[in-house]
Amino acid sequence: MVKLILVRHAESEWNPIGRYQGLLDPDLSERGKQQAKLLAQELSKEHIDTIYSSPLKRTYATALEIAKVKGLDVIKEDRIIEIDHGVWSGMLVEEVMEKYPEDFRRWLEEPHKVEFPGGESLRSVFNRVKEFLDEVKKKHREKTVVVVSHTVPIRAMYCALLGIDLSKFWSFGCDNASYSVVHMEEHRNVILKLNITCHLGDLYVEAHKAI
């Protein structure tokens, strides 16, 4: 069995204003930096063997806080990077709703059919995160692995772990600086904790429904 702890990065500078980030690279907000420290304190109770992180600033900075309290290094992993939002990158949700209304509707209602213009498809994200998870399961038997990623790859991971269709992508909460715990067993995967945020207290902010 592998104990998998999935972490969404703490709040970035763009999260509060609803701006699509994709592969663009804003840093953590001031609140996000505090959230990352609280998350690290929470996970300090866990025995952790390995920490993987998307290479973007918002994920890597979050992972470094966890690594500091555990005395570990952070391994950068490109396969868990955020989806490439293509032409949506850098746009506010309201702008996308106005300029690309049909694409926006499809993203919320039929995400499994979405390929962002000039960017990536959700299926592509699913394929790369599934490959990564299969590798983790083989490489880290009887270990605890922290994976610090983004909302789209994490939701795609849940679909891969449970063997459910990507059309169920939006069925999982995924707030900033949240963590989830999954036991990757030989013949099944079990989600023990999902989108835990109680460690954030007054610094908790609900995720935008379209990001």
- Residue-range domains of the chain with CATH: 10-203 (3.40.50.1240)
Of 41, 29, 30, nearest in space to 68 by CA: 41
105-109 long-range contacts (CB < 8 A, ≥24 apart) are 107/210, 108/170, 108/209, 108/210
pLDDT of residue 197: 98
Residue 167: other Cβ atoms inside 10 A? 14
pLDDT of residue 173: 96
This prediction's pTM:
0.98
pLDDT of residue 44: 97
pLDDT of residue 81: 98
Determine the Cα–Cα distance for residues 5 and 165; give it in Å rounded to an integer. Answer: 22
Active site residues per annotation = 9, 150
**Do 133 and 160 meet the contact criterion of CB atoms below 8 Å apart?**
yes
pLDDT of residue 27: 98
pLDDT of residue 124: 98
Using the structure block, give the residue that is written with the tokens 């962002």: 116
pLDDT of residue 141: 97
**Residues in the chain with pLDDT < 50?**
none
- Which residues are CB-contacts of 182 (< 8 A; sequence separation ≥ 6)? 3, 4, 5, 6, 161, 189, 190, 191, 192
DSSP 76: E
Amino acid at 134: D
